[in-house]
Amino acid sequence: MTELGKVYGKTSSQFAAEATRLAVADAGLLLSDVDGLLISAGVANDVGLELQVDLELRDLKLLTQMQAFGSTAGAMVQFASMAVEAGMAEVVVCVFGDAPLKEGAGAGDAYGAGHRAHSGWTGLQRSTGVVTPNVLYSLAARRHMLRYGTTSEQLGAIAVAQRDWAALNPLAQMRTPITIADHQQSRIISDPFHLFDCCLVSNGGVAVVVSTAERARDLQQPAVDVLGWAQSHPGARSRRDDNFGLVTGAARSGPAAMSMAGVTVDDIDLVEIYDCYTYTALVTLEDYGFCAKGAGGEFVSTPGNIGPAGKLKMNTGGGQLSSYYMWGMTPLSEAVLQARGQAGARQQDRHELVLVSGNGGILDHHSTLILGS
Amino acid sequence: MNVQPVARDTATAAFFAGTARGVFLLRRSARSGEIVPPSAVQDSVGNTDLDWVEASGRGRVVSWAFVPQRAADSDTPLELTIGVVELDEGPWWWTQLIDVDRDNIVEGLRVRAVFTKSGPAETDEYVPVFAPDEPLSAAASNTVSVAS
């Protein structure tokens, strides 16, 4: 992991290159050991295959950009795992780099360039004000509220719990504790979302190295096993009886990944859930089966369920809401730190089984990993 | 209401020709009869024989959000209501809702398309936004009063 957050003066590619060098060195490997490279970038999608040349990687057996939005990180680990299992490559780096924050510009302007279409179907949506993920996700959240009675204060319970975790994480951008009242008083972004319902915007890079169990055993870090995985891409139907906002791809991806690993939700020690919004974390918890469908609001707002003192150890680094926003690398990086037993003040004693989720588009793409230590 | 200019392109030309005359167009497969959104290129089983059909322009509210706007040239806070409308024909439409507020909006609220010019230029097309539908009786009495 590079330095993360308000870090300026580097391009996405430079962050990705730095993250790769750091991850390879962390594993006790040399760049010359790398024979596979999977590349992911943020909304601007500005890290290309040239990263191989930047890093002077020679004779790669596997190289591609991958794009499944916020589910990419999990998907990269899945494809890398299949590649090393198949013998196609032995040391595969999965890397993400992004630099949406510009010095002197607000975080709200970071992703503006993608919304400038003035013609066509996109232009028509934009014309009438249907523009940002903030708006689209808030429409999903409202639907959940209408159907199940979920409240803004219940969403706020997730923001508060994750800030409490972030206070224990030196890598987190936002470490000052907040209350439900702070959440309710934070400015409206797209009602029902307040500012504290929304993820951060961060610059930086994160990489993981995927290898065979045999090779990993002799490296300098504790190996993290990839025990199960799955994806689900429901395909937006956008018509009568659509379950938009109510059920996501997590409902299929989660059980499939847990089945592959031979575990159930009761076995999971830690959950690192993609939390672009508080609501995203809530609906994912329901879809994975950590609580009943529609009961997410009550579950997260009942004292003793989430947060550092809670029964369910969720988003132990503060998540995208309070630590850093590296797409799917946020939950994945925290999962790896916890599984390796290296999470410092927030390290959990029980870290044998860690569930990691990724979510992309407007709840369009989902990936799940089950990691073991 | 606050809409931004939008121009037609090849894919949207027929739709905007409809909005210019106050009609919301959807597409329908001649073979299956399935009605799909105007941007669709096939029905759900792959039929590409899509005709343009006039929809009712009416539907019901599925979800909504109140979105504060950053107004560069005004101190007056502006807030848009963005919603998902289920058209009576089945497809969903993501759009701006007008004449609604926190007190009168409910799930299932009946709405109808209102076509508004998206900008001053000749190439700025008419776009649909949705407003609460008047009860049929009121609409009928309006018609009578206009006729007399």
| Residue owning tokens 């946020």 | A330
- Selected for mutation to probe chain B from A109, A118, A121, A127 (highest B CB count within 10 Å) is A127
**Is the predicted pLDDT of residue A365 greater than 60, yes or no?**
yes
Rounded CA separation A136/A317 (Å): 26
Q: Which residues are CB-neighbours of A222 under 8 A, at least 6 positions away?
A: A339, A340, A341, A373
Nearest residue of chain A to residue B117 (CA atoms)? A127
Give the amino acid at A40.
S
Split at pLDDT 50, 70, 90, the class of A95 is very high
Q: Is B1 at the interface with chain A, CB within 8 A?
A: no
Q: How far is A220 from chain B (nearest CA, A)?
A: 50
Q: Do A238 and B91 touch (CB under 8 A)?
A: yes
Under 8 Å CB pairs connecting chains A and B tally to 106
A19 to A207, A225, A335, A343, A365: CA distances (angstroms): 5, 21, 17, 18, 25
Confidence of residue B147 (pLDDT cuts 50, 70, 90): very low
Tokens at A168, concatenated: 């224990």
Q: Under an 8 A CB cutoff, do A188 and B94 touch?
A: no
Sheet order of strands, A91-98 included: A62-65, A36-41, A91-98, A204-211
How far apart CA A52 and CA A106 sit, in angstroms, is 32
Task: Single out the catalytic residue among A137, A274, A279, A288.
Answer: A274
pLDDT exceeds 70 at position A353: yes
Q: What is the pLDDT of residue A117?
A: 65
Chain-wide mean pLDDT for chain A? 96
Contacts of B82 in chain A (CB under 8 A): 128-130, 135, 139, 190
* pLDDT tens per residue across span A45-63: 999 999 999 999 999 999 9
Q: Note whether B47 contacts A: Cβ–Cβ < 8 A.
A: no
Position A112 confidence tier, pLDDT thresholds 50, 70, 90? low
Are the C-beta atoms of residues A205 and A98 closer than 8 Å to each other?
Answer: yes
CB contact under 8 A, B12 and A142: no
pLDDT score for A131: 87
* Rounded Cα distance, A111 and A276, in Å: 14
Using the beta-carbon criterion (under 8 Å), do A188 and B66 form an inter-chain contact? Answer: yes
Active site residue A137: no
* Residue A116 pLDDT grade (very low, low, confident, very high; cuts 50, 70, 90): low
ipTM: 0.94
Q: What is the pLDDT of residue A109?
A: 75
Residue A2's nearest CA partner among A171, A189, A185, A152 is A171
The alpha carbon torsion through A118, A121, A127, A132 (nearest 10 deg) reads -100
Q: Per-residue confidence at A18, pLDDT binned at 50, 70, 90?
A: very high
User: Which residue from A minimizes the CA distance to B44?
Assistant: A237
pLDDT confidence tier of residue B129, bands split at 50, 70 and 90 = very high
Of B15, B65, B96, the CB nearest to A128: B96
Q: Do residues A169 and A141 lie in contact, with contact meaning Cβ atoms separated by under 8 Å?
A: no
Please confirm, yes or no, whether A325 is among the known catalytic residues.
yes
DSSP B135: P
> Residue ranges per domain, chain A?
3-98
Cα dihedral value A242, A246, A249, A253, nearest 10: -130
User: How far, in Å, CA of A120 to CA of A133, rounded?
Assistant: 19
pLDDT at A106: 80
Q: Which CATH architecture describes the domain A3-98?
A: 3-Layer(aba) Sandwich (3.40)
pLDDT-derived band at A246 (thresholds 50, 70, 90) equals: very high
Closest partner residue to A127 (CB to CB) among B5, B15, B82 is B5
Looking at residue B141, its pLDDT comes to 42
pLDDT tens-place string over residues B3-39: 999 999 999 999 999 999 999 999 999 999 999 999 9
